[in-house]
Structure 1
Amino acid sequence: MYNKSLIKRRKSTRIYIGNVPIGDNAPIAVQSMTNTKTTDIDATLKQIHSLEKVGVDIVRISVPTMDAAEAFKIIKKQVSVPLVADIHFDYRIALKVANYGVDCLRINPGNIGNKSRIRLVVDCARDKNIPIRIGINSGSIEKKIQEKFGSLTSEALLESAMRNIDILEQLNFDKFKISVKSSDVLIAVESYRLLAKRIDQPLHLGITEAGGMRSGSVKSAIGLGMLLTEGIGDTLRISLAADPIEEVKVGFDILKALHIRSRGINFIACPTCARQEFDVISTVNTLEKRLEDIITPMDVSIIGCIVNGPGEAISATIGVTGGYNNSGVYEDGVRQKYRFNNDQIIDQLENKIREKALMIDMSQCIAVKKNNKK
């Protein structure tokens, strides 16, 4: 099992997206992107607020038109999460959202016009202390680079990245993060490895166009997991053809599995067999949905029988071990005298988990107050 202390993070510079630190060993930020029409202000706001509820750190919004920029102005005033504006081709849109308080500009300098237009955007970002994210994507590699390499390779993504970085460096602008995404997991991983050796700026991780909920989660977990265990990556997005809320959940699950960042409940559950004394699958699936609002880090072990149940339960915050009619309960590794009725185990577990989360939160608040008095 990987441990936080075993993963040495790559050294990188620090930037801020709003109040969220990126790089220089800051917590790895989880991002997502709205898929509503930006001009549909109500729908976009609703989606952003839903993303905030599941813990998103940063939200990206596509701003393809001036009308979308005007909508962005209204949206920005009604949310607290930092917003990144995704802009292509039209430098005027970048200038507009900069004036409307955007927290980061997602652009590729090479595709927003001639040098004078690029300078206008960069100077504006510098004056307003707005960082830039360069987003290199396997689906939009420059034609000259495509012709040079003949096919998509990690070296092609790297060259595209370095060309765009060079534009910012010529303008003496270093407050940026960068991604080199590919839908091919191995190409993406190697691209990030190559880039990590060339620059000190923060890296935004992702497997682009990863696919649907199941396949996209698998690809992202493999690719990002490889990089994160090597200490590469300062922020991430899971790109799924699914509800953006799922992107955030999967992102936190990956970080949680690697002991990099803990948020919410880590469910430990058996795959079930004929020995199970209660419906483990239904119990876990129901509790995952019911307890999405719990952000307190804790391990909850739900095992259907006594073969592996006690061993898992003694290492968990809350654990249950299946028994005939009634199941054993553990709290902080200690077997409790009471048992849960198997017919009511979902409700009883939910109540116990919420009670424990409240106790943990209260103890942490008390500890903080004591430290502040010292």
Structure 2
Amino acid sequence: MSVRAYRDIMRRKSRQIRVGSVLVGGDAPISVQTMTNTLTTDVKATVEQIKSAEAAGVDIVRVSCPDEESTKALKQIVREVNVPVVADIHFHYKRGIEAAEAGAACLRINPGNIGSSDRVREVVKAAKDNGCSMRIGVNAGSLERELLERYGEPCPEALVESALTHAKILEDHDFREFKISVKASDIFLAVAAYQGLAEACDYPLHIGITEAGGLRTGTVKSSIGLGMLLWSGIGDTVRVSLSAEPAEEVRVGFEMLKSLNLRHRGVNLISCPSCARQNFDVIKTVEALEKRVAHITTPMTVSVIGCVVNGPGEARETMIGLTGGGNNTHMVYMDGEQHHRIKDEDIVEHLGQMIEKRAAELDAADAAAKAKAAATAAE
């Protein structure tokens, strides 16, 4: 079997919708989302938090709109940020209308929760008039009472039925620009629900393990559940729900996609866990190098290995590699070939400058290729 064959992930075929400037579903890249935790009425704090998430690469940001003051603030927030904003609406249909008119790119709303068919029709009209999509967001912690009584507890079948019931309401109002999520804090429940939903419809799926926990525990739980879904081709947009700053959710999301070869952003740093064979302090070096190249968005793979046991083999597979050697002298590799030697004290800054130079070269080549393609298309 070729290396390529076992790395391929066949994504589930889904219809495509638009969230502002971001396409979700179909053949679009899997997008990474987060949600602000500031008061939406505090425009300055909310914009600052979104800007921080933008620096981490976020594609879509959601903000809570529980009251009229928040939807009023939303209008200003949308003007000051560069990514599509999703308005989080729960029960009041007027908030959905206001958010759509304020410039929200998407409404997170469950149509069955906002009242009569007339109210749903008003929200749908506002969404259509303002080019706004929707997300049906089903959560195990807030399932409809009727479903809980019938199924006895939150279960995959109940989550899927709830999602499809809400979807049917929008379909009956001739609205299909929506994505769906069926989240749970229990990994097994969430994965089974998404698997069932993926088989039952072709709408794009927003995947997440809700209320996953703090940075470490939440990352582990999310990686297990979302990793399984993504590996099996399920998921068009992802949010990693952590009790941490939104930008951390974004970074973890991109690392997941990078690990599965689904989307690349920034430096993929391969490093050893360190052992008694190491010829330099691997842990401190990697920590410092990650900070040094955090601003790089160009995809590339770099290896930092403490000794010659696995170092040369890893270096052969990376653009830039470092293998620890004796006498405070280490080998630097370029494109798998030995290139030059450096000393301990030079490692972080030296590699950082090499990575920046290679990123600039790759960006220039990419820009030239795009310009050539555009010129050819114009002929």
Task: With the length of structure 2 as denominator, give the TM-score of the two structures.
Answer: 0.96
Q: Output the CA distance in 2 between the equivalents of 1:332 and 1:5.
A: 21
Give the conservation status (yes or no) of the 8 Å contact 1:3–1:258: no
Helix, strand or coil for the counterpart of 2:338? strand
Candidates 43, 46, 64, aligned match of 1:44: 46
Which residue of the partner structure matches residue 365 of structure 1? 367
Indicate conservation of the 8 Å contact 1:155/1:191, yes or no: yes
Aligned to 2:332: 329
Letter in 2 for 1:335: Q
Report how many aligned residue pairs link the two structures: 373
Q: Distance in 2 between matches of 1:164 and 1:345?
A: 56
- In the TM superposition, what whole-angstrom CA distance separates every residue of 1:73-98 from its partner, at most 9, and x where no partner exists? 11111112000000111111111111
Question: 1:271 and 2:278 equivalent?
Answer: no
Q: Give the counterpart letter for 2:259 in structure 1.
A: A
**In 2, are the aligned partners of 1:213 and 1:241 still within 8 Å (CA)?**
yes
> For residues 31 and 3 of structure 1, do their structure 2 counterparts lie closer, same or farther at Cα, with a shift above 3 Å needed?
farther
Q: Is the 8 A contact 1:15 1:175 kept in 2?
A: yes
Mark the CA change 1:367 to 1:201 in structure 2 (over 3 Å): closer, same or farther.
same
Call closer, same or farther: CA 1:353–1:28 in 2, change over 3 Å.
Answer: same
Deviates more, 1:87-96 or 1:111-120: 111-120
Query: How far apart are residue 7 of structure 1 and its match?
Result: 1.2
Q: Residue 173 of structure 1 aligns to a residue in which SS?
A: coil
2:273 partner amino acid: P
Structure 2: which amino acid aligns with 1:125?
A: A
2:80 aligned with 1:78: yes
Aligned to 1:123: 125
Name the residue aligned to 2:283. 281
For residues 1-374 of structure 1, the aligned pairs below 5 Å read: 6-324=8-326, 325-336=328-339, 338-374=340-376
SS at match of 1:197: helix
Cα deviation for residue 4 of structure 1 reads 8.9
Q: Shift of residue 304 of structure 1?
A: 0.4
Look up the equivalent residue of 2:293 and give its one-letter code. L
Distance 1:264 1:3 in 2: 24
Q: Which amino acid aligns with 2:240?
A: I
Query: What is the letter of the counterpart of residue 326 of structure 1?
Result: T
Q: Give the TM-score, by structure 1 length.
A: 0.97
Deviations 1:235-265 (A, max 9, x none): 1100001111111111111111111111111
> Which segment is superposed worse, 224-233 or 122-131?
122-131
Whether contact under 8 Å (1:4, 1:260) holds in the other structure is: no
Q: Deviations over 1:287-312 (max 9, x none)?
A: 21222210110001000001000000
Contiguous gaps of at least 5 residues in structure 2? none
Q: Provide the rounded CA distance (Å) in 1 between the counterparts of 2:6 and 2:311.
A: 26
- Sort the Cα spacing of 1:210 and 1:2 in 2 relative to 1 into closer, same or farther, 3 A: farther
Deviation at 1:371, TM superposition (A): 2.3
Distance across 2 between alignment mates of 1:209 and 1:232: 20
RMSD over aligned CA atoms reads 1.3
Distance 1:87 1:2 in 2: 43
Distance 1:33 1:4, change over 3 A: farther
Q: Hey, what's the Cα distance between the residues in 2 that align with 1:74 and 1:369?
A: 36
1:356 CA drift (Å): 1.2
Asked if the contact 1:2–1:258 (Cα under 8 Å) also holds between the matched residues in 2, the reply is no
> Counterpart of 1:202 in 2: which secondary structure?
coil
Q: CA deviation at 1:222?
A: 1.0
SS class of match (1:179): strand
The alignment-based identity, stated in percent, is 52
CA–CA distance in 2 between the matches of 1:277 and 1:196? Answer: 49
Gaps of 5+ in 1: none
Q: Deviations over 1:305-355 (max 9, x none)?
A: 01000000111011000012011000111110x212112211111111111
- Offset at 1:139? 1.0
The alpha-carbon distance between structure 1 residues 371 and 170, as it changes in their structure 2 partners (threshold 3 A), is closer
Q: Which moved more, 1:44-53 or 1:162-171?
A: 162-171
1:22-75 Cα distance to aligned partner (Å, 9 max, x none): 111210000011111111111101011111111100000011111111111111
Deviation, 1:361, is 1.0
Task: Supply the AA of the counterpart residue of 1:82.
Answer: P
Letter in 2 for 1:260: L
Amino acid at match of 1:169: E
* Counterparts of 1:80 and 1:2, CA distance in 2: 36
Q: Which moved more, 1:125-134 or 1:318-327?
A: 125-134
Displacement, 1:114?
2.0
The question of whether the paired residues in 1 share the 8 Å contact of 2:292 and 2:348 is answered with no
Tell me if the contact between 1:204 and 1:233 (Cα under 8 Å) persists in the aligned partners: yes
Superposition deviation, residue 2 in structure 1: 7.5
